Amino acid sequence: MRGGEAMEQPDLFDLTGKVALVTGGSRGLGREMVLAFARHGADVIIASRKLDACEALAADVRGETGRRALAVATHVGEWGQVEQLAERAYGEFGKVDILVNNAGMSPVYERVADVSEALYDKVLDVNLKGPFRLTSIVGTRMAEGDGGSIIMVSSTASQNPGANVIPYAAAKAGLNAMTVGFARAFAPKVRVNCIVPGPFLTDISKAWDMEAFNRRAASTILLGRGGEPGEIVGAALYFASAASSFTTGSLLVVSGGAGGGE
């Protein structure tokens, strides 16, 4: 440094020139990630089962940021549809630099004996099989190319499962394990990490008894509340960008300290 001038620091969170693919990207936490990536310079591919919702968000991205945005209808529980999603992404953009496996489903039930084989298979397909296949395809191409970052989105249920979400919790625990396995499989060019969210107040929370939730949160969540969807952005940008250049195979809990109360 000369004359007291500070050294110029690079923007660690700059995603200019990157392409990000987000499953479950049209709403909730996925929507916030899509918008954050685009605002930081990335072109985005938005995948979910509802094409109209993906198209609406793609239009918002283009209008606000000027970035390219592609909407793709995809059921991530279907092996073939996941393969088609990858083909479409590479066909349109030529690469994927950031993959976020965010799509998921968590149906509850009154008794574990009521869980049907069809429901069990559906939960495992969406939460585990789809991310496995998509990561296998995209991660392989990343490793053969210029590298990239893959982000799994798990749940604190994977570490502290409730009685009414056992198949979901098991699938997310599998996702945690896959994070480490894929990090090893695709090293050193591809980083694979996992966000482990706690209770977030997304559209899903509209079905909750909020009075009961707030009472529990006051004593069981250190920050005393559920997360706002935008509060996932810091973790997503960290893993997607050069800010986490020496981080792989890691699980980051973003839960407000859920389970840490008395």
Catalytic pick from 90, 109, 168, 238? 168
The percentage of the chain sitting over the pLDDT mark of 90, rounded to a whole number, equals 87
Computed over every residue of the chain, the mean pLDDT equals 94
pLDDT recorded at residue 261: 57
pLDDT tier for residue 1 given thresholds of 50, 70 and 90: very low
Domain count across the chain: 1
Residue 6 has pLDDT above 90, yes or no: no
**Does residue 14 fall inside a structural domain?**
no
**Does residue 213 fall inside a structural domain?**
yes
What CATH number should be reported for the domain holding residue 193? 3.40.50.720
**Does residue 40 fall inside a structural domain?**
yes
pLDDT recorded at residue 26: 96
Who wins on pLDDT, 120 or 210? Answer: 120
Pairing of strands 148-153, 98-101: parallel
**Does residue 1 fall inside a structural domain?**
no
pLDDT in tens, 185-240: 999 999 999 999 999 998 777 777 788 888 888 989 999 999 999 999 999 999 99
**Does residue 258 fall inside a structural domain?**
no
Who wins on pLDDT, 10 or 12? Answer: 12
pTM > 0.85: yes or no: yes
**Does residue 259 fall inside a structural domain?**
no
Chain center to CA of 36: 12
> What range defines the domain where residue 235 resides?
19-253
Contacts of 216 (CB under 8 A, 6+ apart): none
**Does residue 12 fall inside a structural domain?**
no
**Does residue 160 fall inside a structural domain?**
yes
Give me the half-sphere count of Cα atoms (radius 13 Å) on the Cβ side of residue 51. Answer: 4
90 a catalytic residue: no
The residue among 16, 19, 37 whose CA lies nearest residue 237 is 37
